[in-house]
Structure 1
Amino acid sequence: MELPRARLATAAGFFSQGLILLSLTTRLPEFQDRWHLSDVQLSLILLMMILLAGAGSVAAETLAKRRDSALLLRLGLLVVAAGVPVLCTAPSTGVFVAGIATYGFGLGVVDASTNMQAVALEHRYERPILPSLHGAWTLGGVVGAAVTLATSHLPLEANAAVGVIPLLIAFAPFLPRDHGPTDLATEVAVPWRPILLVGVAMVLFYMVDTAVQTWGPLFLDHTFPTPERYVALAALTYLLASGAVRLAGDGLVRRFGVVPVLRAGALLGAAALATVVFSPDWQVAVLGFALLGAGVAVVAPLSFSAAAKIAGGPDGGAAFDPAVRQARVDAVIARFNQFNYVGALLGSVLTGLVGADSLRIGFAVPMVLVLGIVPLAPAFAPRVATLVSARRPSAPGSA
């Protein structure tokens, strides 16, 4: 029963992550009005949050060599649970910024450690499960957006209640690490070159993902006479389609393989963005955003899965003591998570800068760049020959 319970706990971690992020970002206009923040000031606060999330991920990488990801995830969830009520009930701008900073750091730790748990579970299951676990994040995001719609008449302080969710999940039965000489992880060289190829694909995904969630509603609002109540459909349909494909992604990868799924998704993503860029009305643009969600949905989970396989070494990690393998993979996943924030910065900044005069032009950039996933797809199916340099003699009794 350990694996199913740990899988459910990890899915809950992903779910809370998406729910809280979307429940906060969908109320950013209200936070901006309350604290009289200009667009530049708000952008700088969000930049601070992303940078601190990166710092949280770096801290998780450092600690992962000697502490298991279950403990790191619990700590990250507790930090998030502390930051959310502070930023929602802040009596002053300074306290609000401090709450955002706390939340951002916790977000980075949770980002890294949920994926550490996910790749450890996938290794134990010996089949793809990361797409459906990331689907739990998307489902949480949809619920978070729905919570905002349902509680929009309530004061901002009421949003502090969502901080209870990570607090409760922090005590869930996450997967513990095998006991062993985890300090040996620092002695094992990691083949970063093939991991970097996968990382570039993840940057491209998060560039597209962030562009849609940041600029998609504004695209509908600025490009067409879209009714105000419908502008959120850009992000909502993207999330719904992405969630559906992620939940089905485990089976798709088992049936067709990683490389064909990624290539087909990248082509669909480029076609979807072309639909958005050349859309004659907002309804067609919404369809384009939905198709885009379906096309690129599995890039992120398959990126983490591929990075874990490369980091684990040949033969699925049989060359290493189990504890060494897990410590090594955890540290790599935490560092690999930095590609997430690089893509987020590019998606939020590049699309806006290029599309300053017209967001059609802004979305033309990811329309072209997402095709870069096509030649990068083979890196997601590493061969033993690629990893041979990381191999070392098997430890007695290793599995």
Structure 2
Amino acid sequence: MPTPRDRRARLAAFAVFFVQGLTFATLLTQVAALQKKHGLSDGELSILLLVVPVIAGAGSVLAGEIAKRYGSRVVLRVAQPLAGLAVVLAGLAAGVPELVAANVLFGLCLGAVDAGMNMQAVTIERRYGRAILTGFHALWSAAAVVGAVWASAAGGMGLGLPATFAVAMIAGVAIAVLAGPALCAPEEEHVRPAEAESRTPAPAGGGFPWRPILPLCLAMAFLYVGDASISNFGSVYMDKIMHGSAAVVPLALGAYQATTFVVRAGGDLAVRRYGPAAIVRVGGALAALGFAGIVAAPNEPLAIVAFGVTGVGLSVVAPQSFSAAGRLDPAGTGVAIARVNMFNYVGFIVGAALVGGIADAANYQVAFAAPLVLAAAIILLARGFQPSRSLPAPRPSEA
């Protein structure tokens, strides 16, 4: 049974995931407003947006190195408030150079927090001794919805970008600062060498091998190719292919986000019953089916349903990738999780370029065939998610 200390750490990690979702959505929902404020062309905006995942990949690697020595708690206590500050600076930016600088800081902190919060979640899952990681990602999704609702309300009140960003980020940073001390400390996160060796043999040469985590990295990249295609081009598809009205166009992304949250909210129960490999295999199949529906949809309602089915399938892959990476790193160094997280940004970059390029050459309906193929490939990668042993029993917690 989890101890009171484990429960406090879990609540703190929930807070971190919530703040990260809120931070991400607060900035993402105002991309069009930032473009208009700074007079950016579509090409300039694309380059500006690509800065974030590129720098985030570096932030994830840096977080892995820091966490290996000092634990992920210190990463989060520094990077998460700085991410909130970066969002506020983006709103205050008077020109493009200031906006780029804010984006660089945001990207670096985004990658560090993504890696650090999943290290915490994996540690807590290990201490609980059962699958609980998907619930953290469900809260991220819920917070993203809160961020979008706040952006809509702020727009209705006529608030400018600085005020819109500041209100959300003051609340977010306050939550992060309060939660920080309750996160798992390095001595709770890092397993003693003798204990780690009793769970899984140390890799030859002392380094962390790529081979066991490669299926997880590829699955993460393929997931985010699909996620990026929907996030970046779902509304464009509904406009140009389905010729939807202004009220209908946002429903593609809305259906995707809604099903992602619903499935993640109950995903841990399914993982405990059927195992992570089976859940990822079914997820890949459903995602492929959803993308096939997008490619073939004859009308708006079926297209919206297809986007929702895609959300059901893709929602399970990321949390199970991190959970599997944690099992492959019994010493709790965080290196495996940081590496897997890096492919989040690889997939996002590839997805934006691949789907956008195909759409330019053909159309957006044809372009969604690319993530269809990659989603189907997740089915073949699912074997890499199967644990070779059950999760260890939770260790006694330090007071």
Distance 1:34 1:123 in 2: 47
> After the TM superposition, which parts of structure 1 deviate over 4 Å for at least 4 consecutive aligned residues?
179-187
What code does the residue aligned with 2:18 have? F
1:130 and 1:182 map into 2 onto residues whose CA distance is 19
Equivalent positions of 1:168-247 (< 5 A) are 168=174, 169-172=176-179, 173-178=182-187, 188-247=206-265
Task: For residue 355 of structure 1, report the CA deviation from its aligned partner.
Answer: 1.7
Q: Who is 1:28 aligned against?
A: 31
Say which SS state the counterpart of residue 163 (structure 1) adopts: helix
Task: Report the Cα distance in structure 2 between the residues aligned to 1:141 and 1:210, rounded to whole angstroms.
Answer: 15
Picking from 281, 285, 290, the partner of 2:303 is: 285
How far 1:179 moved relative to its partner? Answer: 6.8
Using the TM superposition, give the Cα deviation of residue 180 of structure 1 relative to its aligned residue in structure 2, in angstroms. 10
Q: In the alignment, is residue 122 of structure 1 matched against residue 91 of structure 2?
A: no
Q: 1:34-45 alignment to 2 at 5 Å?
A: 34-45=37-48
Aligned to 1:164: 170
Q: State the distance in 2 between where 1:84 and 1:302 align.
A: 29
Q: Could you say which residue in structure 2 is the equivalent of 1:298?
A: 316
Go from structure 1 to structure 2 and tell me whether the alpha carbon gap of 1:192 and 1:90 turns closer, same or farther (over 3 Å shift): same
Q: Which runs of 5+ in 2 are unaligned?
A: 194-201, 390-399
Aligned equivalents of 1:381, 1:98: Cα separation in 2: 42
1:339 to 334, 339, 343: 343
**Cα RMSD over matched residues?**
2.0
Whole-angstrom distance in 2 between the partners of 1:210 and 1:180: 32
1:234, 1:147 → 2: CA distance?
Answer: 20
Return the letter of the residue paired with 1:123. R
Are 1:80 and 1:166, in contact at CA under 8 Å, matched by a contact in 2? no
| SS in structure 2 at match of 1:91 | coil
SS of 2:69's partner is coil
Give the drift of 1:382.
3.9
Contact 2:71–2:189 (8 Å) recurs in 1:
no
1:377 aligns with 2:382: yes
Distance of aligned partners of 1:180 and 1:61 in 2 relative to their CA distance in 1, 3 Å threshold: closer
**Whole-angstrom distance in 1 between the partners of 2:99 and 2:189:** 43
Task: Note the alpha carbon deviations across 1:55-91, whole angstroms, 9 max, x for none.
Answer: 1112111211211111111111121122111111222
Q: Is the 8 A contact 2:226 2:375 kept in 1?
A: yes
Conserved in 2, the CA contact under 8 Å of 1:203 and 1:342? yes
Q: Deviations over 1:139-188 (max 9, x none)?
A: 11111122222222322122222221332113312111217999989973
- 2:160 aligned residue (155, 160, 173): 155
Q: Size of the alignment, in residue pairs?
A: 371
1:352 to 2:359 alignment: no
The equivalences for 1:264-279 within 5 A come to 264-279=282-297
Per-residue deviation, 1:225: 2.2
CA distance in 1, matches of 2:183, 2:21: 18
Q: Distance in 1 between matches of 2:43 and 2:145?
A: 28
Task: Give aligned-pair identity as a percent.
Answer: 36
Aligned to 1:55: 58
Contact preservation (8 Å) 2:213, 2:336: no
Counterpart residue type for residue 245 of structure 1? V
- 1:270 CA drift (Å): 1.1
SS in 2 for 1:337: helix
Please report the TM-score for the alignment, with normalisation by the length of structure 2.
Answer: 0.88
**In 2: Cα distance, 1:258 partner to 1:370 partner:** 17
Rounded to whole Å, the distance in 2 between the matches of 1:17 and 1:217 is 24
Residue 318 of structure 1 is matched in structure 2 by none
